[in-house]
Structure 1
Amino acid sequence: MTKQTHPVDHELIQAAAHVARTRCRGDNHTMAAAARARDGRIVTAVNAYHFTGGPCAELVLIGVAATQGAYELDTIVAVGDRDRGVVSPCGRCRQVLLDYFPALKVIIGEGDRIQTVLITDLLPESYVWADHQLDTEKSASLSAG
């Protein structure tokens, strides 16, 4: 399977980098994420680090986006504090992002290798929880009809 690359949203990277520089303080907040909603808005968030496995910035961003009425995200990026640049999502975030937004684009890579790929490229041949939800909804509507 060949990854299809998409244009890199540099404004999104800059937004995440700005949040990382200005809001990530100490060990509790070390990553920032920014996503572009389908309506063009940019939503940002930081992680909530905790030794018990606090949520990554990408997961916090899903909740922040929902509170702002942004339920459809187009592209997401995570950036580390201390000028670490773009950081690819961890495995848990990849699965959650795939489940919530199966058509999401993700900015990954570093330096001159930054690229935008589909979330499905980061988890090929994976189980999609959203598919299960659709099957459950279809079954419920068939039995109700």
Structure 2
Amino acid sequence: MTMQNHPVDHELVEAAAHVARTRCRGDNHTMAAAGRAPDGRIVTAVNAYHFTGGPCAELVLIGAAAAQGVYELTTIVAVGDRDRGVVPPCGRCRQVLLDYFPGVEVIVGEGDGMRAVPVAELLPASYVWADHQLDTE
């Protein structure tokens, strides 16, 4: 499968990197995420690490976005603290992002290899939760 390359939203990457540099402190918050709303707004969040499986920054971002009235994201990126750069989403986050925002693009890679790809390309032959919900009405 060939991944489609889309323009990288460098402002979004910098927003996540800024949060990673200034808000991630200690072992509880080691990743930052930034998401772009269709109206151009940027929402940011950090992970909440916990040994029981605390949520990744991308998942916290979904809740933070909803709290700000953002229910759709066009692009998302995660950046690690200590200047680790862009970090691709884990499998759980890929699935959740696909379920919530099937058209979202995810920024992956680093340096000149950084690219934005549709989340569906990060999960080939994926299961789409929304496609299997029963009509309860």
TM-score, L = length of structure 2: 0.97
Q: 1:98-143 deviations in whole A, cap 9, x for unaligned?
A: 000000100001222100000000001110012123xx34x74xxx
Q: Give the 3-state SS of the residue equivalent to 2:75 in structure 1.
A: strand
Shift of 1:2: 2.1
Question: How many residue pairs are counted as aligned between the two chains?
Answer: 137
Specify the code of the residue in structure 2 equivalent to 1:87. Answer: V
Aligned residues: percent identity? 80
Q: Equivalent residue for 1:88? A: 88
Q: Mark the structure with the bigger radius of gyration.
A: 1
Asked if residue 27 in structure 1 is aligned to residue 14 in structure 2, the reply is no
Q: Give the 3-state SS of the residue equivalent to 1:32 in structure 2.
A: strand
Q: Which runs of 5+ in 1 are unaligned?
A: 141-145
Q: Equivalent residue for 1:62? A: 62
User: RMSD of the alignment, in Å?
Assistant: 1.0
Higher helix proportion (structure 1 or 2): 1
Distance 2:84 2:112 in 1: 14
TM-score, L = length of structure 1: 0.92
Structure 1 runs of 4+ aligned residues shifted over 4 Å read none
Q: Which runs of 5+ in 2 are unaligned?
A: none
Distance 2:16 2:125 in 1: 29
Distance 2:104 2:131 in 1: 15
Q: Equivalent residue for 2:41? A: 41
